[in-house]
Structure 1
Amino acid sequence: MKKVLIKNARIVNEGSIIEGDVFIEDGIITEIASSISAKSPNLSIIDAEGNYLLPGLIDDQVHFREPGLTHKETIATGSKAAVAGGITSFIEMPNTNPQTTTIELLEEKFSLAAKTSYANYSFMFGGTNDNLEEIKKIDPKNTAALKLFLGSSTGNMLVDDEKILEKIFKESPVLIAAHCEDEATIRKNMEECVERYGDDIPIELHPKIRSEEACYISSSKAVALAKKTGARLHVFHISTAKELKLFENKKPLKDKMITAEVCIHHLWFNDQDYGRKGTFIKWNPAVKTQKDQEALLKAVIDDKIDVIATDHAPHTREEKNNVYTKAPSGGPLVQHALPAMLQFHHQGKISLEKIVEKMCHNPAILFQIEKRGFIREGYKADLVLVDLNAPWSVQPGNILYKCGWSPFEGVTFKSRVTHTFVNGNLVYKNFQFTPFMKAERLKFER
């Protein structure tokens, strides 16, 4: 059995920071103590040197573009970048090509990940207006959730038949994760802008087109439907202060039926950044005002927002560098999400314990992921070491995304991921990767 001893770490876990050692045997955390002495011919000892040891991050929303859109990203390239950013498990979205709207296509994606992923993996099943019978076949123990697009989507994934939507909410065997933007509102706003500007709409109007109203109308409908049907609902990428009134901060988290997520870009950017970043910060939902940005971070601290994720959604530089109507929405984020949140920590805006709660513990709780998301004896050894005093700048030469760019280019982060362990295997160390992959399919305690 392979054995690893991590010594002299500051362990950030379950609301506290303690100094100690962690012993790993055959991919499992077997002992956590203030000091562990061990000798074995198969033992690797890693001195953390007082750096911080976190549970591996769990990103509940990524788009790794495989199959069908692999000129933007693949499971291999996306998961490799994720591991470099301390993300050891991901949940990927169904709007690939073909879309993941049958059980057969879902299992094909699992087969791809089993061969190429650097991080532990699961996939969401996609709901449509006409695949309720397939939704009923979802195995809750093996599939993360059902993804519904209640706003603009690629292909036929917009679920806009209200009778069908209510049936899905009543009959889904798993948590429902929803993208909420009102299509009618967006279409109206878009038509007005096209009439005035043609295709070259100023990017600054993006949050006016995909407006606060569009978000709130859709989110409030989804929340009302969840309350009516008793469905378990998780609302993705909240982007407005107004939407926060829809959510509560009651405890314990496992008993909350309606939860919310915020993404890194909505915490980092606001509408004043469009002038310098242009379409490279065009996301759906749109980055909005500084007031919204500040309210979202406050909601993270106050527990109205339960999860911080990335919505990693890469496009090529050529695709993004287009006029408004032709530039796709989305951007790459998995490699830089944790360093960005640690930057907020350096600014005194959030504690390390709260970062771990929102990016490690809570995704595990909400999706009922088996034995991950915590540093506990008996749990899988998904672990991340970070040095809070190791500045580095995001430059083209150290960006790992297949698309080759980042909205953080030129930013100097104060903190760096130094080691990432996936199932007890050191897969990443100081910008270098090991030649083997030891990722596993996530399982769910349902």
Structure 2
Amino acid sequence: MTVSESASDRPYDLVLRGGTLIDPHGSRAVDLALRDGRVAAHLGRGQPAEALATLDVQGRDLLPGLVDAHAHLREPGLTHKEDFASGTRAAAAGGVTTILNMPTDDPWTDTPVLMRDKARMAQGRVRVDVGLQAVVQCEDRDLRAMRDAGAVSFEIFTADVPENYRHDTLDSLVTAMRKVADCDGLAGVQPSDQALLDAGMSADDGSIAGYCASRPPQAEVVGIAHAVQAAADSRARVHVRQISAIAALDAWRRFRDQADVTLETSIQNLLLTADRYVDLGPAIKASPPFRGDADRRALIEAVRDGSIDMVVTDHAPHTPAEKRAHGRFSDVPGGLPGLQTLLFCMLHLVDRGDVRLADVVRLCAEGPAQRFGLSRKGSLAVGHDADLLVLATGVASTIGNGPSYSKGGPSPFAGLSVPYRLERVFLRGQPIWADGDLIGGARGVVLHPDAL
């Protein structure tokens, strides 16, 4: 039986024959028909259809392109670390077809003028689609102009940032969220507590252990409690960032039903633990710090049972020289690259039985697309953008075997091997990666809320 967007006498642009479509509910045999950059029909296996081209994907899995809701592309001002061109090359090579870019560049994206300037910098240079996120200053009054200038969402920071961006009281957090709600936006909140960070940093002796102790799980617990309470008081839609610890998960499960809130963790929190600082050292310095194996296993269970809504990269590259150039661990810049490796790291979790392939779609495509209002992304349903991945099973891929497109240098996951190969990536029906190479140039666009 055919599932089709609408009747048309025109042939399809492309029909992919013989593949297995993966969605959050499982898998099914589908011949996938594309037209005008969108999924036009789900055809029965072998169903006749007129098409300008066909592609044999027999035995392959078809997944929607991944949506990374938390990445730092570093432009403007920090382009020695990354830029729109290099970061989106890495994304295309890793099957991430939509990036939501964080606002903490130089300068931070906190005005409509800076938002429009940033969009102009990206146009014509991005290989995947990019949405821009704005930051809420403490003195901001009306965010509608930022929304009109292109802000897909709004970041509200509670700690560890300059004072003019730090909403470190419940009243300030509620006020900021109300402004986001007034313009029908989504607020992203990094859960933390400045008082606990100040106490921890005063005792930081510059060692790895000192750094980890300076950002305790209790700071996340307090941050989550405040974020959910403020969301309930303001009636805002809120997305909580970067959970890392069992204690924070426990708090989340207690409070989350009180408001319209969702939660993310990063892929590195699902794979790395604090003991890896011994061999990887500054290369994996990030914030929050990595916790113990019990925390990591609890996070795995939470993504599996749906307590965590999405997995992101927090792609935040620095040059290898910057990562090495500090004596105190606390002074090492935090962040690591992830756009090119997110898919393969998730497939590693699939291979060892931690999650299912359907969970990869739920956590890294459909979930973030729905939460951030990307109505045509994250799914291969009829009518959605034809952003899709062709994945071969039983063919090994090893992270690090091939070019690294990010300026952040080698991945800390180099050497990890999975029994899958990413054969092709399509963006709105056009190929951007095939047979181990980037193709097609800069086909990405800057997404605007009015067009989503």
Q: TM-score, normalised by structure 2?
A: 0.90
> Which residue does 1:13 correspond to in 2?
23
CA contact (8 A) 2:93 2:433 kept: yes
Question: Any idea what SS the aligned residue of 1:391 has?
Answer: strand
CA deviation digits over 1:1-49, x for unaligned, max 9? 9812211111102412012211111211111122343455xx2322223
Q: Distance in 1 between matches of 2:67 and 2:409?
A: 23
Pairing 1:274-313 to 2, within 5 Å after superposition: 274-313=277-316
Q: Distance in 2 between matches of 1:262 and 1:364?
A: 16
CA contact (8 A) 2:208 2:330 kept: no
AA paired with 2:287?
N
Q: Distance in 2 between matches of 1:13 and 1:430?
A: 24
Q: 1:346 to 1:181 in 2, by over 3 A?
A: same
Q: 1:271 to 1:439 in 2, by over 3 A?
A: same
CA deviation digits over 1:241-269, x for unaligned, max 9? 11123435999x9x971110011000010
Question: Any idea what SS the aligned residue of 2:15 has?
Answer: strand
Deviation of residue 91 (structure 1)? 0.4
> Which residue does 1:178 correspond to in 2?
189
CA contact (8 A) 1:149 1:159 kept: yes
AA paired with 1:32?
H
Residue 86 of structure 2 is aligned to residue 86 of structure 1 = no
Pairing 1:9-408 to 2, within 5 Å after superposition: 9-33=19-43, 34-40=45-51, 43-133=52-142, 135-139=143-147, 142-153=150-161, 156-160=164-168, 162-172=170-180, 173=183, 174-194=185-205, 201-248=206-253, 257-321=260-324, 322-323=326-327, 324-395=329-400, 397-408=402-413
Q: Distance in 2 between matches of 1:94 and 1:235?
A: 16
CA contact (8 A) 1:129 1:161 kept: no
Stretch of structure 1 that moved more, 346-355 or 434-443: 434-443
Deviation of residue 155 (structure 1)? 8.0
Q: Distance in 1 between matches of 2:109 and 2:69?
A: 16
> For structure 2, which runs of at least 5 residues remain unmatched after alignment?
1-10
Q: 1:249 to 1:158 in 2, by over 3 A?
A: closer
Q: Distance in 1 between matches of 2:388 and 2:163?
A: 38
Q: Distance in 2 between matches of 1:389 and 1:149?
A: 43
CA contact (8 A) 2:132 2:150 kept: no
Q: Distance in 1 between matches of 2:364 and 2:434?
A: 21
Q: Distance in 1 between matches of 2:214 and 2:128?
A: 36
CA contact (8 A) 1:204 1:271 kept: no
Count residues with an aligned counterpart.
435
Question: Any idea what SS the aligned residue of 1:148 has?
Answer: strand
AA paired with 1:170?
R
Q: Distance in 1 between matches of 2:352 and 2:265?
A: 19
CA contact (8 A) 2:92 2:438 kept: no
Question: Any idea what SS the aligned residue of 1:334 has?
Answer: coil
Stretch of structure 1 that moved more, 53-62 or 370-379: 370-379
CA contact (8 A) 2:344 2:399 kept: no
CA contact (8 A) 1:12 1:353 kept: yes
Q: Distance in 2 between matches of 1:98 and 1:155?
A: 15
Q: Distance in 1 between matches of 2:371 and 2:423?
A: 28
Q: Distance in 2 between matches of 1:250 and 1:280?
A: 34
Q: Distance in 2 between matches of 1:430 and 1:213?
A: 47
Question: Any idea what SS the aligned residue of 2:160 has?
Answer: coil
Q: Distance in 2 between matches of 1:266 and 1:25?
A: 39
Deviation of residue 396 (structure 1)? 7.3
Q: Distance in 1 between matches of 2:366 and 2:255?
A: 16
Residue 425 of structure 2 is aligned to residue 435 of structure 1 = no
% identical aligned pairs: 26
Stretch of structure 1 that moved more, 184-193 or 265-274: 184-193
Deviation of residue 124 (structure 1)? 0.7
AA paired with 1:105?
L
Deviation of residue 81 (structure 1)? 0.6
CA deviation digits over 1:32-91, x for unaligned, max 9? 122343455xx2322223111101111100000000000000011111111111111010
Deviation of residue 388 (structure 1)? 2.8
CA deviation digits over 1:172-208, x for unaligned, max 9? 12110011222221222122123xxxxxx22244322
AA paired with 2:190?
H
Question: Any idea what SS the aligned residue of 2:394 has?
Answer: coil
Q: TM-score, normalised by structure 1?
A: 0.92
